[in-house]
A and B are shown apart, each in its own frame.
Chain A
């Protein structure tokens, strides 16, 4: 476990292999909720929270349940079930404890259950930090950090996109590409500019 490894994870998760612009995870929510900055921010923060927590939870499940009993082929089923349950649980807790916070974040939580980014980061962690069904030293910290970084990458793309789309409201756009098609074309140009980070080498 060293600082360089953490830096590599950060750069690759946020810039090089940005969840949305390069891995295409969580694209549906990205296109649907990026019309204005405020809901976009709320959604991104909830995604960041859930990716971090699900990285932690799925690490424990993979390391202490699936690997010892030789059940790694049950990875998909167990991860998605645990994530869905966890998200439901968080939704119930926020609704009970803090209604204002529920109004701000809670409405996005059901959407996050089927957000590919959340399951994607869990699967990615178990692919990257477990070699031959054995956990790498420090894999818990790497997984957690990758969860945070994927959330950060999502937030970055979401904020950029919502800022651009707010300004687009004032423009005269051809009717055929209004809304979704245009959002994809903008995302394409953003993804092209993110390619510039490919020069980063350590």
Chain B
């Protein structure tokens, strides 16, 4: 049990997909305007990661090595389509807010990266926990970035205003604010990493 827990935990801190591996930054930056969007994107990506990791590790003995990438992409795209249709049916507001970034989960490097680096050579249960951990790590990173951006850029968190008389800096809600926040956060994590060693 402890082994599985470790598989799960590694995606959250030690191999966090966003801050340590620096993968899948496009959707991270684009949807992190508000925490709600960040959580929505995180859950969608977690579902895709979980599904594709399980299916790919089940099929690992049947996929020929030379055409593995197209095979992975088809599996991933199937799960993305399921997510897209579900979101359109049950949460059209979120679907409109995330826009083209939902179909773009297909080319999110985290999903393909985990398939290539982990799921195709690991057992189903390990892949399941790996996918879950990576997904949760991605979601937490999204919540952190979107929390900073929403609080400083609009003065709210999850839509509730927290501090009276706080003058928000709109630039953080804009694209350039996203790039600034991720740049500074990466720098901050570099300092933490240097301290630890």
Contact = CB atoms under 8 A, between A and B. Distances in A.
Interface of A: 21-28, 31, 73-77, 80-81, 84-85, 113-116, 119-120, 123-124, 127, 174-178, 180-185, 187-192, 195
Contacts of B84: 73, 76
B124 interface: no
Given A27-B26, A119-B106, A81 B74 contact: yes
A123 B69 CA distance: 21
Interface in B156-197: 171, 174-180, 182-184, 186-188, 190-191, 194
A84 B25 contact: no
B186 A84 contact: no
B104 A192 contact: no
Given A31-B25, A77-B74, 20 more contacts: A21-B176, A24-B29, A24-B178, A26-B26, A77-B77, A77-B81, A80-B77, A80-B106, A81-B70, A175-B194, A181-B183, A182-B183, A184-B179, A185-B180, A188-B178, A189-B176, A190-B176, A191-B174, A191-B175, A191-B176
Chain B, interface size category, equals: 35 or more
Contact of B109 (A22, A28, A123): A28
Contacts of A23: 30, 175
18 contacts: A22-B175, A24-B30, A26-B26, A75-B103, A76-B77, A76-B84, A119-B107, A123-B100, A174-B187, A175-B194, A176-B188, A180-B186, A182-B187, A187-B179, A188-B176, A188-B180, A191-B179, A192-B174
A46 to B, nearest CB: 16
Interface of B: 22-23, 25-27, 29-30, 69-70, 73-74, 77-78, 80-81, 84-85, 100, 103-104, 106-109, 112, 171, 174-180, 182-184, 186-188, 190-191, 194
B190 A119 contact: no
Nearest to B179: A188
A120 B100 contact: yes
Contact of A181 (B29, B100, B184): B184
Nearest to A193: B176
B146 to A, nearest CB: 14
B106 A195 contact: no
Q: Name the 8 nearest CB pairs between A and B, nearest first.
A: A184-B183, A188-B179, A191-B176, A185-B183, A181-B187, A188-B180, A77-B77, A177-B187
A187 to B, nearest CB: 5
B178 A185 contact: no
Contact of B176 (A75, A183, A192): A192
Contacts of A187: 179, 183
A114 B81 contact: no
A123 B109 CA distance: 18
Given A114-B109, A123-B104, A181-B184, A195 B174 contact: yes
Contact of A77 (B78, B100, B186): B78
Contacts of A191: 174-176, 179
A176 B74 contact: no
A136 to B, nearest CB: 18
A90 to B, nearest CB: 15
B184 to A, nearest CB: 7
A132 to B, nearest CB: 15
A25 B78 contact: no
Contacts of A80: 73, 77, 106-107
Contacts of A176: 187-188, 190-191, 194
A168 to B, nearest CB: 14
B112 A114 contact: yes
Contacts of A123: 100, 103-104
A188 B184 CA distance: 11
